A and B are shown apart, each in its own frame.
Chain A
Amino acid sequence: MLPDPNSLYGPLDPAPEAGWSAAPPRMGFFTDASVCIGCKACEVACKEWNGVPDSGFDLLGMSYDNTGALTANSWRHVAFVEQPRPAGHRTPPFAGTPTGGSVSAASAAVAAGTAGPTGTAPGLLPGAPEPAARMGAARTGEDTGPGTDDRAPEFLGMPGAAPPGRGTGAEGRADFRWLMMSDVCKHCTHAACLDVCPTGSLFRTEFGTVVVQEDICNGCGYCVSACPYGVIDQRKGDGRAWKCTLCYDRLGAGMTPACAQACPTESIQYGVVDELRERAAARVATLHERGVPEARLYGHDPNDGVGGDGAFFLLLDEPEVYGLPPDPVVTTRDLPRMWRRAGLAALAMAAATVAAFAGGSS
């Protein structure tokens, strides 16, 4: 069989391309951040089912985020974006309630530097304080509304038990928004981790998902720097790379992956990718109708830089707000050009040597 012209880049059905004959339909996740309540049941269920080592018992000061990032020991990561600014164009969700002051530029800047032991490498790395401070600062400019001015920074470290704003009085209260999203491996159509894996440990399943074979992985770490989403990570002590398998074992038995099974709000939906894409498009349309114009899909488009994700998202702000890259591209798109450049450089090297020796003895 000739390789598909899109085998390195472009729309593609990955399982048949990987050599599966009579593959079942491609399965994936649609994670709808608009109904995520941040309960972390997905994180717990994933760890329980997959026997992932524990980690992240301490809050990081990044709202209620105790995981920080996807790592080899956290295959779901619930992100919490807590900002003193109005939530989209809706009625502020906390209008009339004592809110505000819970997050400030200063507290976000401090939170950027926190770390919990993940037991993985590179794991959860500290962030830069300036952009974190920008994130935590009240929005000024086009979104001016009540309470969006810059308030005196107040470091709270982590969410307290008392309602935010209780100590500051009504005049100190600000609007704020609270976004939550359960991040996961994207199971890309063109998966850079799989492409660069030198042992064949990473492979494409019949469901179109991407799985690490733990008995093959020798911990070379290439997949870690290849992933455009920063998902895959190395477990310390163990030395191997680990990530979400989309519960390959459960899929084979016709079951739903643990996280989707545990999600109480159906924020995580599991199913045939084509059906999920239709459902996602309908959901976005509904949200737009209901006055949530900021709702947008991420990773659903087969024409994007990775050929579309098997696990895609509905977000309520730009991807980078949630820690996702705005325009990820699979590195293998440029691989033919890279090999050509290396070939030219190799020829130049050989030619230079010949010239050096042909040039006489001086």
Chain B
Amino acid sequence: MKAALAADNLIEISGLRFSRGSRLIFDGLELAIPRGSITAIMGPSGTGKTTLLRMFTGQLKPDAGSVLVAGQEVPRLSRSDLYALRRRMGMLFQNSALLTDFSVFENVAFPVRENTDLPERLLRNLVLTKLQSVGLRGAANLMPSELSGGMSRRVAMARAMVLDPELLLYDEPFSGLDPISLGVVLRLIRLNNDALGLTSIVVSHDVAEISHIADHCFVISEGKVIASGRPDELADSESELVRQFMTGAVDGPVPFHYPAPDYRQQLLGSS
């Protein structure tokens, strides 16, 4: 049973516990992500979605529980095994994280230069192909400071894909984009996933956008997965919290007001 599951799932997480200081971030989180799909991980701000991605890449270690990526227990990998596993992953950071001193071309070439001994001519072709696929071959000689937010997001995407990873992680890929750039990024995520046979994980709270492309969604709140399923299933969820999140209602299980003493009492009965 377990072995059969492992064949289908690229990532399996069980019993994940993690706390930062006194704050418990994950409390027995369970999650399985099938190969070849686009999975959305959603949840209110501050629930540790980005932290979860860093568990997949081994940048953070859980306090307890198992994080299986491609059949390997990430927290227990040796340094060299972890680096070998990371070569099979790509990650798109929220602020793109392009290297400021390098041109667009050199940014995309960077992981190839550092990790392989590819001859210059092949490298050039590879980088230009990836830039072409995100529509920025013409921008190869620009510096990151000359790019718009949407463009640098696309360069970062080309860089994340340049070593042909099996797994692509997107951390808030839509934040701060204009509608056109957003549409482009959405289309690229879907296109890459299908054309390259990737497994994609998108962390986002842009419910409407992610619903267009995700095959499967997880909603995380208070350290646990509170709902999972197809995007349209989640919209009709029985859980009030999930519904509030999916529809974006102002008040609900997540209250509009931060906990405070009674309003009238504080205004009238002071000192």
A binds B: no
Residues of A with Cβ closer than 8 Å to B? none
Residues of B with Cβ closer than 8 Å to A? none
